[in-house]
Structure 1
Amino acid sequence: MVPFQTVERRGFKAMIRAIDPRYEVPSRKYVTETEMPKLYAKLREKVEKELCDLKYFATTTDLWSSRTMEPFLSLTIHYITDDWNLGSRCFSEHTAEEIAQGLKEALESWGFKEERQVCITTDNGSNVVKAASLNDWTRLQCFGHRLHLAIEKSVKDPRINRAVALCKKIVSSFSHSWKRRKALKKAQAEHNLPLHRLITETPTRWGSRQMMIQRVLGQEKALSQVLKADRKTRHLVPTWQDTDVLESISKTLGPLLEFTAALSGEQYVSVSYIKPVLQLFNNTVLAPADDDTELTKDMKRVILEYLNEKYSDPETVDLLDMASLVDPRFKDAYIADDRKDFMKTRAVAEIQSLLEVQAATVTEPHTSTEVAADGAAAAEVAVESQSKRVKRSLGSFFKKASDGTAALADRKAIEVEIKSYLQTMQKYLCIPATSAPSERAFSYGGNIVTCHWSLLKPETVDKLVFLIVELEESIKTSEEESKELQSQEEEAVTTLKIYNMNSERLQRNLESAKEENILLQESNTQLSEQMEGWVERVSELEEEMRRCEAAHSMMQQDVDTKDHRIKYLTDRLLGMKAWESDLEHEEEGERDASNGDENERHLQKVQKLIYAAKLNADLKSMDEDKDRMFAKLNDEIQAKEELKQGIKGLENERSSLQTQAEHYTEQVQRLQQKLLIMTEMYQENELKLHRLLTVEEKERLQKEEKLNKADKNISLAMEELDNYRQQAENMEEELEKTKQSYQTQISAHEKKAHNNWLAARSAERDLADIRRENALLRQKLTDTQFKLDTIDKDPYALDSLARPLPFRGERSPYGPSPLGRPSSETRPFLSPPTLMEGPCSRLSPRVPRAPPEPLAGGREMERSGGPHSDGSNSPTWERDRRGPPAPLGSLGPPGVCV
C-alpha cells in the first residue's frame, strides 16, 4: 500500500509520463473524495446483495492499536450459503472506544440482526469478553489463543528458558553476520543437510518458537561446526543437556503446531473439530509415553490440565457438543455417554422450533375463534406427529455410519429425510474455532496506518481495509478464473490434439476399411465362384447320392434275399438237428431191435457229413457276402452324412458371408456418414481453433515481447548485480586491507600507549619523589621559620628546642603536631598552615643556640610509610621494583637554623 500523496510526487508522475504521455494522473483530492468512495459504495452494495438472505452467521473480533496508539476493532462474519459454501467477510475497522456498542453498531450498519448471530469467537482479552457479556452474546474462546497460553504456561522452566535463550543467541549470531551465514551454507553442503535458513522467534506469531527449535535441531551439526570454528562463538555450541531439553520441547510441541494451523482456516468447518482434537490430545498426542523424559511429561501434563479446565464450562460444552452432533462426520461419537440423550433431545427441540417458525410464516392467521380453535387443535396434532417424525428421522440418521467425507458434502444424504436439519447445520457449522480471520485484518490495517498515513481518519481506514480485503478476494477469484480458463484452454488444446489424432486414426481406419471392403469384394467374388463350383459339385453329389440310393436299395434287396436265404438255411439246420435227434432215437431203436447193416449206416453218416460241410461253406460265403454288403452300406451312409454336413457347412458359410457382406456394407455406410459429420465438425473446430490460435498467437507474441523485455531487464539487472558483486568483492578486499592497516596501526598505537604508560608511570614516580622532597623542604622551612619566630620572641628558646619535643598524637585538641607522626589519613595532605597550628611550649633561655639533633630514620620511615616507601600512592610491589629511596642526609638535617 502506498499513501494517497503518491499521485502528486514527481517521480510517480515522471514514471506515468514515461509509460504513457497521454494519461493524466488524477489528483489526490479526486482519489480520496471521488474514486475511493465510489469504489467502496459499489463493493459494499455488491456484498450487501450477496449477504441479504443469510439466516444464520457467526462473528470473530479482535483489537489492535495503530502507530498513533489509537485502538481499532475488527469484525469478521462467517456464514454458509444455500450452495453449501463456507464464506467470510471482513467488515469493520472501527475505533474501540466502547467495544460492546461498537459491535452492535457494526452489525446494524450492515443490516444484520443480533438474533441471527449464533456465536462470536474472540481471544481472552478482558475488554472483549466483557463486551460479549454486556451484549448477552454466546461467546466461544479462541482455540489458538488457548493452546498458545497453555504452551506458554508449560515452558515456564529454568532449563527451557536457558535452552531457548541459547537458540535465540545462535540465531542472532547468524542473522548479524554474513560470514557465518556463508560458512553455514558450506557446512550444510558438507553434511548433506537442506539449505534452510534459521528462523527467528516472533512473540506475536504462534508456533514461531517451535519452528526455531526444530530448525536449530535439524541443522545442529552444521551450526556446531561453524560456531566451533569462531573463537567468539564457541560458548554458543549447545551442550548435551541443552540438546536434550530442546528435543523434549520439540517432541511435545511439534504435533501441536499442525493443529494450530489446521484449526485457523476459513474455507472449511473447524468448530466441530475441537472436541475430537481435545480427545486426541488426551488419548494420544499428549498422553504420557514410556520413552518420555520428566520434562516432556511435565509439559504434557500442564497443557492438558489447562485445556481441560478452560473447555469444561457448561456453555462451551453445550455449544461444542451441538456442533459435533450436527456434523455428519462425527455425530455423537465424541459426546459423553451421559449427555447423548440430552443433546439429541435438544436437537429435536431446536429442529421442531424451526419447523414451527416456518409453519407460522407460511400459514395465514384465521379470523374466527372457531376456526382458530380448530386450527390450534390441528396444530397440536401436527406438532405431535411432527416431533415423532423428527425423532424417527434423527434416529435413522444417527444409526448411519459416516463415510469420512466432507461435512458439507453429506447434506444430500440428509436432505431427503430432514430438510430442517440443514438449517441447524448452517447455524452451528459456520462458527470458526479461532479468531485468526479477524487477526489477519491486522496486517492490512498495519500496512495502511504507516508513518506516511498516520493521520488518516478511522472512517478512511475502515474503507481502505474493506476495499483491500474485497479487492484481494476479487483478485483471487479472477486468478482462479484465469487458471480455470487456462485449464480449459489446455483442455481445448488437448482435445484438439485428440481430435486430430482421432481424425487421423479415423482416416486411417477408413482407408483400412476401404481396403478391407475391396478385399471383401474380391473374397466375395471368389466365394461366389467357389459357391458356383460347390453348387456344381453338390449337383454331382446329389446324382451320386441318387445312384448310391439306387445301389443301396438293390443292396438292401440283396440283403433281404440273403436274409431270407439265411432264415431258410437256419430253418433247414434246425430241421437237420431235429433229424439228427430222430436218427439217434432210431439208431437206439435199431440197436435195441437188431444190429443192422453197418455199411449202410456208415454211408449215411458220410453223406450227412458231406451235406453239413457244403452247408457250412455256403453259410460262410453267405456271411462274408453279408459283411461286405454291410461294410459297403456303412461306407455309403457315412459318405451321405458327410455330404449332408458339407452341404450344410457350405450353406452356413454362404449365409455368414452374406451377413458379413451386409454388415460391412452397413459399416462402410456408417463410416461414410461419420466421416461426413467429422469433416464438418473438424471444419467448424478448425475455424474455432484457428480463431483461438490467432488470439493465443497474438497473446503469445505479446508475452514474448514482455518476456524479451523482462529478459533484457534481467540481463541488465544481472550485469548490475555482477557489477555490484565485483564492487562488493573489491570493497571486501579494501575492507580487509583497511582492517589489516588499522590492525597494524592499532598494534603500533598499543605499543606507543604502552610506552607512554611506562613513561607516565616513571613520571608519576619522579613527581612523587619531587613532592616528597618538596614536603621535606617545606617542613624544614616551617621548622626554621618557627625557630626564627621563637628566637625573635625569646632568644633563649633554643635550649628547649635542643630537647626532643614530646610526641603529640592525633588526639590533640589543637590538631596534628608538626613534629609528630602524621596519621594515615593526614599524611598525604600536610601543608604549612596545618603545621603551624597548636600551642608552642615555653622555650628555656638557658639552652644554647645549637642546631637540633636530626630526626631519627625510624621516624622518617614511619612518616614515609615503611623502609621501601617513597611517599607516593603506588603499590608496594611497584616501590620494591624501583628500590629504596635516596637517603635524606644529602638534603641536610631538618631544623638547621642559621
Structure 2
Amino acid sequence: MMAPKKCAGRQSRKKSRRKFSVKHQAAAERAVSYMIHTDNLTFNTVEKKGFKRLAQTLSQGQFECKSRRTFGRLREKTVQDVKRAFAEKLRNSGHFSLTTDACTLTKPKKSYLVVTGHILDEKNACLVGMEFPPILANKSHTSESICQLVNMLLEEFKIRKEKISAITTDSAANMILAASLLKLDHVPCLNHKLHLAVMKSIEDCDSLKPTVQLLKSLSAFFNRSPAASNMLIEVQKENGVEERSQLLLVISCETRWNNICDMVERYLILNQHVTEVMERLGNPHELPDEEKLVDLDDCFTFLKPCKEVTVLLSGSSYPTSSITIPTCRNLQHALTTMIPSTLTGGQFKQHLLRNLNLILKKSTPIKY
C-alpha cells in the first residue's frame, strides 16, 4: 500500500526549509556572542541541548548553531563593540557618578576592581547604571594601585574627570585615600556602614553573640551534610509544605548585606523542621533552646527595619543621595519607639542605636 501523500508533502517541506541568509546568520551570531559576554556565560552554552532547542524554535529552524570555537573567535570583536557603545553613551551624557569596589574570586584566585557608572536618563527620568569591564588587579589593593587602575580605565574610555560628580566606595582607608588621589568627591556607601553597624551591635551584645554563632555553625553543618539537607526537604514534604515553599538554612557570609537578618528569619521559619531532622539523625549538633528562640525572634524585629532601609538605598534606577539622611533618621526613630520583649532584645536595641548614631556622625556630607 502506498504511503499517504500528505506524509510525503510534509517530508518535502521539512527538507526544503530555508536557512538564514548570510547577513541574518551573522547578526544572530553577534547577538548570541553579546548574550554570552554580558550574561557571563560559558562558550559551551551554544552546544547544550536547551540552547539549541530554543534557537531552533525562535528561528523556526533557520539558525545554524555553530560550535563554541566560533563564538570564542567572536569574543574579542564583541568586547570591543560593547566598549565602543558604552563609551559613546558616556560621551553623550552630562555629569555622572562612579561606584567602585574590589572583589576576589576563589576559583581561580583572582582579584578585580569593579567600576559602575551612573548616568541620568532625562527622557525616562531615571538613573541608568552601566558596568565597566572588570579590571584585573594583580597588585595589592593600596590606594595608589586603585588610583592607577581607575585612571587607566578613564583614559581607555576617554572620560574627563570634570564630568564625574562623585565616586562612591566603602569606608575602607585605601578607598577613601584613592578618591582623594583621584581628586574626586568621595561619598561613603551608607549601606556598607549600616551593615557594619549591625555586625558591630551583634558583636557587642554578649547575650546574642553566642546564639548567632550557634546558628552559623548549624547552617554550616547542613551545608556540609547532603544527608541532613535532603532530610530537611523530606521532612518539610512530609509536613505538607509545597515543593515551591520548601527551604534550606541560609549560609553565613560576613560581607553580604542583611545576611544575619536572612539567616535568623530562615531559622525561625524552619525551626520545627530542623528539630525533627536533628532527632532523626541522633542530635549531631546543638540547637538553640526555647529561651534563645524567643531572643532571636525579638532581635529579628530590630533587624528587619535595617534590611528594609538597605533594600531602599540599594535602588539603581533612582537617586538615593537625597533620601539617605531622612531614611536613617526615620530608622532611628522607628527603632527608638519599638519596645523589646526580652532582656537580650533590649541590649541589642541599645547597641544598634549607639552604632547607628556613630555612623551618621562620621558620614561625609555630600557636596553639591
Q: TM-score, normalised by structure 2?
A: 0.71
Aligned mates of 1:12, 1:283 — CA distance in 2: 54
Q: Partner residue of 1:296?
A: 345
Aligned mates of 1:2, 1:86 — CA distance in 2: 26
1:248 to 267, 290, 298: 298
Q: Is the 8 A contact 1:311 1:317 kept in 2?
A: no
Aligned partner letter, 2:336: A
Indicate the structure whose relative CO is greater, using CA pairs within 8 Å and at least 6 residues apart.
2
1:183 to 235, 256, 265: 235
3-state DSSP class of the match of 1:100?
A: helix
3-state DSSP class of the match of 1:236?
A: coil
3-state DSSP class of the match of 1:311?
A: helix
Q: Partner residue of 1:73?
A: 113
3-state DSSP class of the match of 1:270?
A: coil
1:159 to 200, 203, 207: 207
Q: Partner residue of 1:312?
A: 361
Q: Partner residue of 1:48?
A: 87
Q: TM-score, normalised by structure 1?
A: 0.31
| Cα pair distance change 1:219/1:148, threshold 3 Å | same
Q: How does 1:96-115 map to 2 (within 5 A)?
A: 96=137, 97=139, 98-115=145-162
Q: Is the 8 A contact 1:187 1:225 kept in 2?
A: no
Q: Partner residue of 1:269?
A: 319
Q: Offset at 1:261?
A: 1.6
Q: Offset at 1:271?
A: 1.6
2:136 to 77, 95, 99: 95
Aligned partner letter, 1:39: T
Q: Is the 8 A contact 2:208 2:348 kept in 1?
A: no
Q: How does 1:557-568 map to 2 (within 5 A)?
A: none
Q: Offset at 1:230?
A: 3.2
| Count, aligned residues | 306
Aligned mates of 1:313, 1:238 — CA distance in 2: 37
3-state DSSP class of the match of 2:183?
A: coil
Aligned mates of 1:282, 1:270 — CA distance in 2: 18
Q: Deviations over 1:820-864 (max 9, x none)?
A: xxxxxxxxxxxxxxxxxxxxxxxxxxxxxxxxxxxxxxxxxxxxx
Q: Offset at 1:139?
A: 0.8
Aligned mates of 2:83, 2:281 — CA distance in 1: 62
Q: Partner residue of 2:100?
A: 61
Aligned partner letter, 1:48: A
Q: Is the 8 A contact 1:169 1:236 kept in 2?
A: no
3-state DSSP class of the match of 1:219?
A: helix
3-state DSSP class of the match of 2:179?
A: helix
Q: How does 1:736-747 map to 2 (within 5 A)?
A: none
Aligned partner letter, 2:252: E
1:210 to 242, 261, 264: 261
Aligned partner letter, 1:56: H
Q: Is the 8 A contact 1:184 1:226 kept in 2?
A: no
Q: Deviations over 1:38-82 (max 9, x none)?
A: 223333333333332322111000112344544321111101133
Aligned partner letter, 1:159: S
Aligned mates of 2:255, 2:199 — CA distance in 1: 12
Q: Partner residue of 1:643?
A: none
Aligned mates of 1:113, 1:292 — CA distance in 2: 56
Aligned mates of 2:65, 2:336 — CA distance in 1: 67
1:199 aligns with 2:250: yes
Moved more, 142-151 or 124-133: 124-133
| Cα pair distance change 1:131/1:12, threshold 3 Å | same
Q: How does 1:358-373 map to 2 (within 5 A)?
A: none
Normalized per residue, the structure richer in strand is 2
Q: Partner residue of 2:37?
A: none
Counting aligned pairs with the same residue, the percent is: 23
Q: Deviations over 1:476-502 (max 9, x none)?
A: xxxxxxxxxxxxxxxxxxxxxxxxxxx
Aligned mates of 2:281, 2:79 — CA distance in 1: 60
Aligned mates of 2:95, 2:63 — CA distance in 1: 51
Aligned mates of 2:345, 2:253 — CA distance in 1: 23
| Cα pair distance change 1:78/1:292, threshold 3 Å | same
1:119 to 166, 176, 182: 166
Q: Is the 8 A contact 1:73 1:93 kept in 2?
A: yes
What runs of 5+ residues in structure 1 fail to find an aligned partner? 323-898
Q: Offset at 1:155?
A: 0.6
What runs of 5+ residues in structure 2 fail to find an aligned partner? 1-39, 140-144
Q: Is the 8 A contact 2:207 2:344 kept in 1?
A: no
Q: Is the 8 A contact 1:184 1:223 kept in 2?
A: no
Aligned mates of 1:292, 1:22 — CA distance in 2: 64
Q: Deviations over 1:353-391 (max 9, x none)?
A: xxxxxxxxxxxxxxxxxxxxxxxxxxxxxxxxxxxxxxx
